[in-house]
Structure 1
Amino acid sequence: MIRPHHFGVTVTDLDRAVEFYRDTFGLDSVERFAVSGAAFAAGVGVEGATGRFAHFVLDGARIELVEYDPAGPAASESDVNQPGATHLGLAVDDLDAFYADLDPGVETISEPRTTESGTRILFVRDPDGTLIEVLEP
């Protein structure tokens, strides 16, 4: 049986990313840990890799932030419609209130919009450029 466990986001600075997700979305980091060793490096396919991790639990699934050493090259910033693009989707009860409370430094794609399906959406970027769709179903 398959069930969600986590959605991973690679970040350049774990502490900065934890602060962003905590402050922007009100999430509490429930677990922080580091992983290293030959099995980890072989498993992720990066020689000598170590990782620092932070997990946030959301309704039974986790958002996993990971900072790797050595860090790889930055992925090109992609638009949501490019093949291979990824994004996180997080639901809120009141998108307008969420938008009004956003720190002015948080990059947004547009103001909140209502789609043809009636869902209200807003895309923001985390400090590393990862797209996050904030929606009010």
Structure 2
Amino acid sequence: MTPPTAHHVGITVSDLESTVAFYRDVLGLSVIDRFEVAGEAFSTAVDVEGSTGRFAHLDGGDVRIELVEYDPEGDHRHDATLDQPGATHLGLSVDDVDDIFDDLPAHVETLSDPQTTESGTRIAFLRDPEGNLVELLDV
């Protein structure tokens, strides 16, 4: 049996359009697909009765970034910190963390200025409009 390979990383959002705009306009990712899914099979698969989803797939290089807005919408979670078990973040490899960080619009929330870790990697964390953590890193 062939081992699985990554297809996408999914992020649930409450406002698909503003979140797509952030990843497209602020971070420069291309939208490669948009679609809606409904029906009993989908509701059963996601275990949310009567659920429908609006999706946008973004080009994340080797892995798609899937943004999905559900109807009905579930409860909002509190902003995660990276040290919480189960915390997630999206890591994006960039040519120059400092250049991207310096060009971020003023409304984009960041955790700190770019830092160089002991391993020599330059990193910076920010939040998308939904509060999801995004790590920018020089690789």
TM-score bracket, normalised by the shorter chain, equals over 0.9
In structure 1, which of residues 63, 66, 72 is the aligned counterpart of residue 65 of structure 2? 63
Q: TM-score, normalised by structure 1?
A: 0.98
- Which ranges of structure 1 fall in alignment gaps of 5 or more residues? none
| Partner Cα separation in structure 2 for residue 70 and residue 96 of structure 1 | 39
Give the match for residue 41 of structure 2. 39
In structure 1, which of residues 15, 19, 38 is the aligned counterpart of residue 21 of structure 2? 19
1:52 deviates by 0.1
Give the match for residue 56 of structure 2. 54
Q: TM-score, normalised by structure 2?
A: 0.96
Matched, 1:85 2:83: no
Q: Percent identity?
A: 55
1:58 deviates by 2.1
Give the match for residue 7 of structure 1. 9
How many residue pairs get aligned? The number is 137
Runs of 4 or more consecutive aligned structure 1 residues displaced over 3 Å after TM superposition:
none
Amino acid at match of 1:102: L
1:60 deviates by 2.6
| Partner Cα separation in structure 1 for residue 114 and residue 37 of structure 2 | 39
| Partner Cα separation in structure 2 for residue 106 and residue 59 of structure 1 | 23
How large is the Cα RMSD of the aligned pairs? 0.7
| Partner Cα separation in structure 1 for residue 98 and residue 89 of structure 2 | 21
Give the match for residue 77 of structure 2. 75
1:118 deviates by 0.3
Moved more, 34-43 or 54-63: 54-63
1:44 deviates by 0.1
In structure 1, which of residues 108, 131, 134 is the aligned counterpart of residue 133 of structure 2? 131
1:111 deviates by 0.3
- Which ranges of structure 2 fall in alignment gaps of 5 or more residues? none
1:67 deviates by 0.2
| Partner Cα separation in structure 2 for residue 62 and residue 24 of structure 1 | 17
What are the superposed Cα offsets for residues 92-114 of structure 1, whole Å, 9 maximum, x if unpaired?
Answer: 01111111111111000000000
